[in-house]
Each structure stands twice: as structure tokens, then as C-alpha cells.
Structure 1
């Protein structure tokens, strides 16, 4: 009931649609987190706060992870005969640790995510699997950023010789060592002078996206849901028409974890003509193993349909990766399978689309 009431507050405003549409938005594909179970053990032995951090199980998705996820999605068809589909919000680059170390932490260097795939033991064919999933209609990449990293803050801490950050760096991880502090907020800023550099990074990231997928991304989701409206013109220039997010946009203030909240509703249009897609359903089994995510998410889907809104399910990559811990992936896929089965059974007229297809629903 709590899930239904919370979702109702989100769904009461905004545009309405008549179809029963389900969109699964999944962030962080292609981004590194913790590189191995050995790294997790090293972080624990060092006394870092890994037990309460997503870094404990989150890692670059493996070929096994992708194949098993696609298998689950392909099983469940909407009324139009098309399978369940993941909007795979993707990161285009990861830190090049060797080059950064060679600069004595004074310069940021990155490598394309496809190069990162080649450095991991069960990942070399990941791009082929991404493209296969795209052609089969179960995996639709969209732009999440060039890096999932505020590299200026990260470099600053490394230059200050922070022991925990340096220790994690030596394991090829950007973990801060603290459960309540991260460097993941790519479009947060310390001063507004950071924004022009962020714009250049975004432009560079879109170049990689276009060259990889031979198309632009029609949607964008900011890492950690925080971004300044001043970056939105470049998103429009790159062909973005929809901004993904939760109900509240977090506008930077110059201080970590302090933001100006700005509420949005589904289909709301800003001065640039960009529309907002609001996540109104949460499916995150990795965040709490004891919660009944299937039934809580079903209640939120029901609320979305009651208010004539698409059911936009937030389900991060972490729920479907087992490279560090296969139990994490197995639990996430089992719950996803049960959720999709229940959705199709309860609403046989449902259709699954990716976020970039929303224009076809509203227009």
C-alpha cells in the first residue's frame, strides 16, 4: 500500500496516455565499479566501508550476465508480440589508470568502454552482445555520460594523497572508501566554471555513442540524477528529446550532497522543448535483499496505469551482474522473471518499449 500511495503522488500530474506501457530504465552499463572479488576482499581487509557500498557486488557486466539477462527478457512478450525491453543507459568511457598514474594524478585520461571490455576476462565479446540484444529488441543503449565519474574531485583527492582513494586506485577502482561519499556524480560541480568542461565531455561522449551505434541517443539520464540546466542546450544539440530521471532533479550548489530540488512530471516540456520521463516504479533487489521487490513494484505499476501514465521501472545494472557474486545476479534475474510474468498476466494488453520510443506513444 505504501508503494501505491507514493507512486500516486508521482503520477497525479503530467500528461496522460491510454496504452498500458512498461519502460525499464537501467543505468550504468559499460561503467566500471569493483574489478574483482579479490578487490572486494582487499577493500574489506583494508577496513574500507565496502560492506555498506554498492561496490561490494557491482562490476562491469560479463558476457554471462548479458546472455542470462537477454534470456529472461526474451521470455516475456507484450500484446504486440514484442519482448520485454531494457533501456540500457550506457557509459562511454572509463578511467585509464595507467596514464593517470603516469601524470602523477594531474591529468585525467579515459579509454572507451569497448577497450575496457577487452581488459576483463569474460567481457571481450560484450559489444557484440550489446548489438545482438539491440537487434533482438531486448537491449536499447542510451546515453548516460562519457564517464560515471566526477573526475575533477577524484583527481583532487588523489593529489592530496588520500590513503583510501589511492589504495582503491591501485586496484583500478574509483571507490572513495566511504559508504556515504562517492565520485560518481559526473555533472555535479564545485563552481559554475566547471560547466564548460562538462559540456565538452558530453559532446565527446556523444561522438563515441554515435560512432559505436551508428545513431544518436534520443534520451539522456544524468548520473545520480544531478545536473545543471545549463548543460541542457548541448543535449538538445546532440538530438536528445527526452530527459530521464526520478521525480526530482537535483541541481548542484557547489557542495557535495547539497542540491536544489526541482520537481518534474511525465511529459512536462521545458523551455528548450525537452520532455521529462519520470521513473514511478522501483525495482532494485540488490539494494535490499529482504524486501519483496516484485509485489512492491507491481503496486507501483498498478498506480501508474490507474493514472494513465507509463510504468517507468528504475532497475540499475547492479541487479543483474554476477561477475563478483553470482548470487546477486541470480536473485535479480529471478525477481525480474517473476515481475515480468506477473505484469503480462495481470495486464495482457501491456506493451514494452524503450524510452527513446516515447514520442510514438504521445504523438
Structure 2
């Protein structure tokens, strides 16, 4: 049976693969601590669930909606964007999609021709490069350094620039590092992109999950010129504990949004109607549960970070947002005689039943990603097991 070449070139998602392995082991009765999943461990807030139930009972969500989202949800996105970014939008600058991941997919399909390039800082979220490849584009991966908090500079962008460069993709706070670009850093990149006429893709999905008094500036808020050059990607999954509802959105240039809507209309059609009703309540309804979840993540980060940083052979800086730690474990691997991070991760899972995600899928073969969207009890027990694994591997 023939398969298309694009399928053969795709790399599987290391995060989804790791999560599937955890579920399998748990189903077999193993006491596994899974720190792999990129989602809150909270259930969706009650007010959002109740809004969805009411929408079902009313019969309003039994039918197709507009492919690019209901007018009500688009208006809510416009209101929230005005509040958070200071931007005045028209409905034709907004599209609602089946998750922020699909917003990115349709964006790349809209803006890239074969051979066009997208600059992506390393480490990166696992799907960025693969989605560029699916659009027959070329991901241009630019290495960043722990010493610079894994943030790309204008000088690096200038070196990566070619006549095929179409866009640069930024994610702040970052998955997997949790680091945040400052306003000055974003402004320098934004002004460079405006000067070079390069599209800025700003993945803001974690922007409200920021801790310890930090602030995540929005690229699109810095100037009118930068805003016109920026496509915002966002959604309700992370902030509102709604990963299963699959609602994301994109904001920006009306022509690009129209192109994305054309792809949506010929692929998925509209996002699930009941999920759109739930997202409407998420954006405009009571926000107290959102604040409670953010505070819980902050407490976990502040408790677990020093314990992870103290592990033999681990090196990292304290994240400022999202809910991941991304330590460099080169020293720990050397202590145990390992030369491959994936083997180290697999042995940790087999021997101590702690599941992390290999950094190889993020372009960082000396790192692991661990999510702290788990209970404090599990996080502290995971540290005990990881330390024991490191110590035993030296014997």
C-alpha cells in the first residue's frame, strides 16, 4: 500500500508517545508517576461545563456553525484581545479553530509555498517543525543557549535570514522551557521583522500562566507596525483546563485569516458547536477558578524547582511561565554512562516508573521535559525516584 512521501517524513510526537506509554503502564497496574502531559491536571471549571450543558439542552449546538466560529465567540475574542492587547479588531481578523494546534496548521498551509522557510528557535514545541514540513516549507532551526534563557536574538535572526524566509515563530512563555521574552527583547525582534517584512507568529497559549510577579508582554501590543506584522495564536486549552474541548483561535491580517478560513471550510468545517459555547463562557465568565489554578501552579513551581535543580548532573534556570521544567541532564547522563537522553528516559521509566519526555523531540538532545501539572505529592515522590535512579546508575 503506497503512502505519501509527506507521511514518511513526519516524526511522531514525543509528548503524545510518552503520555500513551504512561497510560499503558498504569493500565497494567504499575505505580507510574507521569510528568509528560502538557495539560492542567484540573478539570474544566464548573461554570464552563454548566454553560455547555445549557447550550446542549437549549438545542443551540445541534447544528453547523460558521466555519470560522460563531459570531458570539468571535466577538468575545475581540473583547478579550482589546482588554489584554489593546488592539481594535474586526470579525474578519479572527478565526476559531479546532484547537490552537490546528490554527497553526492552517496558518502554515496558508502562508507557505514549497521551499519557503520559517525560523524556529530551539528548543521548540514538537509540532512546529513538522507542521512546516506538512506545508512543504522548511523549518530553519536556530540554537539558543541556557545562559540566554533559551531566547533567540536579532543577530541570530539576521544570520538565519534568506530570501525564502517567510516567518519567525515565537512562543512566550515557552513550551518546553517556561522562559519569557522581555518587552525590549520582543521589540527588537518585532522591529527587525517589520524592517525585513517577515511575518511574526506569536504563540501566546501560555501567556496567562506566569508566576512570581513576572509579566509576559505581548508582541502585538508593542506598536501598530508590529501588530500588523503579527499573527496571534491562542486558545482556551491551557488557561481554562479545556484541552479536551479543542478550541483555539488566530488573530491578524484579514487576508491571511480568510485563507485559513478557506482551508477550515474544506477540511474540518466548524469547530464543535458545544465547545464554542463553553469557550464563550471561559472568556467572558467568572475568572476566579483560573486564578486559583495559576496560584497552584506557582506553588508547585516554587516547591519543586529547587529540588530538581539540586539533582546530581541537572542544570536549569527557573521558569517564569507555562508549567514545564526543562533541565539539561548531560551531567546526570555522564554519571550513569549514558550517551543518549532517550535511553536515559526509558531506563528511568523502566526502573523507577517516572515518565519524562525526551528532549530530542524538542531539538535538545541533552534535556528532558517534565511537567509540574501534577499533584505536589507526585512531584515530590518523582524527585526521590529520579535521585535514586541517578545514584544507582553510578554503581
Q: Which has the larger radius of gyration?
A: 2
What is the TM-score when the length of structure 2 is the normalising length? Answer: 0.27
Higher relative contact order (CA 8 A, sep 6+): 1
What is the TM-score when the length of structure 1 is the normalising length? Answer: 0.28
